[in-house]
Amino acid sequence: MSSYVAIADRDHEIEHHDPQTFIRKYVWSQDHKVIAIQYGITAIFVGLIALGLSLMMRLQLGFPNEFEFINPESYYQFITMHGMIMVIYLLTALFLGGFGNYLIPLMCGARDMVFPYMNMLSYWAYLLSVIILLASFFVPGGATGAGWTLYPPQAILPGTPGVEWGILLMLVSLAVFIVAFTMGGLNYVTTVLQARCRGMTLMRMPLSVWGIFIATILGLLAFPALLVSAIMMLFDMNLGTSFFMPAISSMGVDPGFVGGSPILFQHLFWFFGHPEVYIVALPAFGIVSDLLSVHARKNIFGYRMMVWALIAIGGLSFVVWAHHMYVSGMHPYFGFFFATTTLIIAVPTAIKVYNWVLTLWEGNIHLRVPMLFAIGFIFTFIHGGLTGLFLGNVTIDMPLSDTYFVVAHFHMVMGVSPILVVFGAIYHWFPKITGKMYNETLGKWHFWMTFLGTYAIYLPMHYLGFQGVPRRYFAMGNTDFLPESAQALNAAITISALFVAATQILFFVNMIWSMKSGKKADPNPWDATTLEWLTPDTPPKHGNWGPDLPVVHRWAYDYSVPGYEDDFIPQTVPPEQAPAGRDHGVVD
């Protein structure tokens, strides 16, 4: 922390900064690009575990009692670990630790993050949190089965799987993750604010950076609530305090708690939990804006509006949390307040959606793999956003809460949509990261099977929810109101899920094969304007820019500007050499 003259500010003397040994270069690396890849690979690895867990849940739901190794206890463990891993350890880590690390310095024209050493520590702490989390599968009693929301009292009382060790490891792992995120997040925010290259005003930054930037701020302000609730729950568990625990009889025994408030936990959790959904959504919003603009050869529609919408959504996301608690018991006026704020958030969100669609309007659309994923995102996101409007209204939410309708809502909006963007982004930047081209045909197959397959999974879930199929049930039990066909639908969903999971092999084959024997990539294969495509080397070397930092003269979206020979003008082209596009860095 002591000296702030890090390499991001040095124009020259790069050479002796290049670490030589393998270990320094790829393991204890302080290079933001290597750290990004470390984050990315670790996140995808745990994501695959979470995918496996979801398949086991689907097997039980589709074909109840066919599989001996799935019992109610393990089912709850699968549910919990699946949710937590996907939300925190995969998506948060991948978007901010992965894409944030890779893109922020490159797109802002910096040599690295402002504090590379802390950035490295961030990755290692993240890895530690992952190891602690995964260890909970192997301790006596196994992982916790409290549900990803970890609601007390049940989370720490006997009867819930993993009360012995699982919940302890979960809480500790979350605390370590928060430390890791904070070290990284401080770097991302400071780099964006203070270390951009000359000419790169905030209003010239690509929307990818904006999305990641705002999401990181949300993280820095929302994770504290999770940290505090984790600490308080650890106290309740280990010291017998009663923050969250009311006087209660657990399996006929009095565990000795008195006077705590379980609702307090819910408030703290969702004060973190709702911003968290936008921590995942905002980077996806930003990245998808760039993908659409590049592959439609058009400037993003309403850049300024897009930036302000990101900021507005970020701000509003802190005042809607209790829409997750309509059924927990709340004063009706509070319900009214939170329903109103929730519906207001739909306004900036809708603005973004309109602008994406208008960006495509009359564009010169190249349906390459990243573009397919970006357009797929618009579909799934509109879909999930609309169901959010249903759930945001108290009276409509009452019957739908804790049914499969909610599961469908958040998987469309927070599962499928960001994952489509993740894939799109990986295909889009793959040529820069590896220097090789991926296989277009395989990529297209991967897109169509994933896109249609996920619809086959989640569309029927809305219908199941309307019928009243409850969420988080191991088996339906005494639910006579459900028709036989609900089970048939469940079986169909399971088959689609297995299919979608299997098609992901195409992605990994494509990545690994292309990395080894793909065609050598052009430094700027998509004719994009942003700085990361203008590095002297592909993949960029340590320090990114060679001897001189880039100088920016225009915004990131000068595509198809009339009167210029190419259909794109890189951000570094000065106004003398090309017509000024619609530059929003200039006050107009």
Partner 1 sequence: MSEAVLDTTVEPSGASGVSHDFSRDKQAFGVPWGKAMMWIFLLSDTFIFSCFLVAYMSVRLAATDAWPVPSEVFALSFGGEPIPLILIAIMTFILITSSGTMAMAVNMGYRKEKNKTFWLMFATAMLGVSFVSMQAFEWTKLIQEGVRPWENPFGAAQFGASFFMITGFHGMHVTVGVIYLLVIAFRVKRGYYERRGNNYEIVEITGLYWHFVDLVWVFIFAFFYLW
Looking at beta carbons only, is 280 or 486 nearer to ligand HEM?
A: 280
Single out the residue of 404, 410, 403 nearest to residue 388, CA to CA: 410
Is 414 near ligand HEM (CB under 6 A)?
yes
Binding-site string for Cu ion from residue 230 to residue 269, where x marks contact by CB under 5 A and - marks none: ----------------------------------------
Nearest to 280 by CA among 89, 17, 470, 481: 89
Q: Which of residues 97-156 bind ligand HEM (CB under 6 A)?
A: 149
Give 110 or 226: the residue with its C-beta nearer to ligand HEM.
226
Range 302-331, binding ligand HEM (CB under 6 A): 323-324
Binding to ligand HEM by residue 341, rule CB under 6 A? no
Interaction partner, residue 202 (partner 1, ligand HEM, Cu ion, none; CB < 5-8 Å by kind): partner 1
Which of 435, 503, 487, 405 is closest to 63 using CA atoms? 487
* DSSP collapsed to 3 states, 204-232: HCCHHHHHHHHHHHHHHHHHHHHHHHHHH
How far apart CA 580 and CA 86 sit, in angstroms, is 43
Residues linked to residue 243 through DSSP beta bridges, in sequence order: none
Near ligand HEM by CB under 6 A, which window of 168-176, 180-188, 409-417, 571-579? 409-417
CA–CA separation, 340 and 436 (whole Å): 49
Using rule CB under 5 A, residue 274 touches Cu ion: yes
* Helix runs in 239-368, H state only: 262-296, 303-316, 332-360
Q: Is 277 in the site for ligand HEM (CB under 6 A)?
A: yes
CB closer to partner 1 out of 233 and 374: 233
**182 interacts with, out of partner 1, ligand HEM, Cu ion, none, CB within 5 to 8 A per kind:** partner 1
397 binds ligand HEM (CB under 6 A): yes
Q: Quote the tokens at residue 145.
A: 């089965």
> How many residues contact ligand HEM, by CB under 6 A?
22
CB-CB contact of 369 with 427 (8 Å): yes
Among 144, 341, 342, 529, binds ligand HEM (CB under 6 A): 342
Does position 389 bind ligand HEM by CB under 6 A? yes
Q: Which does 342 bind (CB under 5 to 8 A by kind): ligand HEM, Cu ion, partner 1, none?
A: ligand HEM
Would you list the DSSP string of 146-191? S-TT--TTGGGSTTSTTTTTHHHHHHHHHHHHHHHHHHHHHHHHHH
Q: Answer with the entry of Cu ion, partner 1, ligand HEM, none that 385 interacts with (C-beta below 5 to 8 A by kind).
A: ligand HEM
> CA 274 → CA 263, 266, 279, 323, 367, distances in Å?
16, 11, 9, 9, 34
Of the CA atoms within 13 Å of residue 466, those in its CB half-sphere come to: 6
Among residues 118 and 127, whose Cβ is nearest to partner 1? 118
Task: Indicate the burial class of 2 (C-beta count within 10 angstroms; 0-12, 13-18, 19 or more).
Answer: exposed
CB of 324 to Cu ion, least distance (A): 5
Residue 389 interface partner, choices ligand HEM, Cu ion, partner 1, none, CB cut-off 5-8 Å depending on type: ligand HEM
Tokens, residue 122? 């961030």
Query: Rounded to whole angstroms, how far apart are CA atoms 321 and 316?
Result: 10
CA–CA dist 239, 233 (Å, integer)? 10
Number of residues assigned to the chain: 588
Of 210, 213, 272, 410, which lies in the binding site for ligand HEM, with binding defined by CB under 6 A? 410
Q: Which residues bind partner 1 (CB under 8 A)?
A: 1-4, 6, 114-115, 182, 186-187, 189-190, 193-204, 220-225, 227-229, 231-232, 235, 239-243, 247, 256, 258-261, 264, 267-268, 271, 551-553, 575, 580, 583, 585-587
Q: Does 280 bind ligand HEM (CB under 6 A)?
A: yes
Residue closest to ligand HEM, measured at CB:
388
Residue 257 or 447: the one with the smaller Cβ distance to partner 1 is 257
Regarding 401 and contact with ligand HEM (CB under 6 A), the answer is yes
The Cα–Cα gap between 207 and 99 comes to 13
Q: Determine the Cα angle at 372 with ends 295 and 527, to 5°.
A: 20
Task: Answer yes or no whether residue 411 interacts with Cu ion by CB under 5 A.
Answer: no
d(CA 318, CA 221): 9
Structure tokens at 267: 């408030």
- The residue (of 142 and 392) whose beta carbon lies closer to Cu ion is 392
CB nearer to ligand HEM: pick between 184 and 392:
392
CA distance 111 to 113: 7
CA distance 88 to 100: 15
Min CB(406)–ligand HEM separation in Å: 5
The nearer residue to ligand HEM, 292 or 552, going by C-beta atoms, is 292
Query: Of 319 and 515, which has the nearer Cβ to ligand HEM?
Result: 319
The DSSP bridge partners found for residue 285 are: none
d(CA 530, CA 557): 8
Told to check if 412 binds ligand HEM by CB under 6 A, we report: no
Q: Is 549 in the site for ligand HEM (CB under 6 A)?
A: no
Q: What is the Cα–Cα distance from 391 to 323, expressed in whole angstroms?
A: 8
Residue 461 binds ligand HEM, judged by CB under 6 A? no
| Between 33 and 553, CB nearer to partner 1 | 553
Q: Of the candidates 96, 106, 114, 345, which one interacts with ligand HEM according to CB under 6 A?
A: 345
Question: Contact with ligand HEM (CB under 6 A): which of 234, 344, 346, 396?
Answer: 346
Region near ligand HEM per CB under 6 A, out of 154-162, 382-390, 443-451, 526-534: 382-390
CA distance 121 to 135: 21
CA distances from 182 to 122, 125, 312, 578 (A): 8, 10, 23, 42
Binding flag, residue 413, ligand HEM (CB under 6 A): yes
Contact between 349 and ligand HEM by CB under 6 A: the answer reads yes
Contacts with ligand HEM, residue ranges (CB under 6 A): 149, 277, 280-281, 323-324, 342, 345-346, 349, 385, 388-389, 391-392, 397, 401, 406, 409-410, 413-414
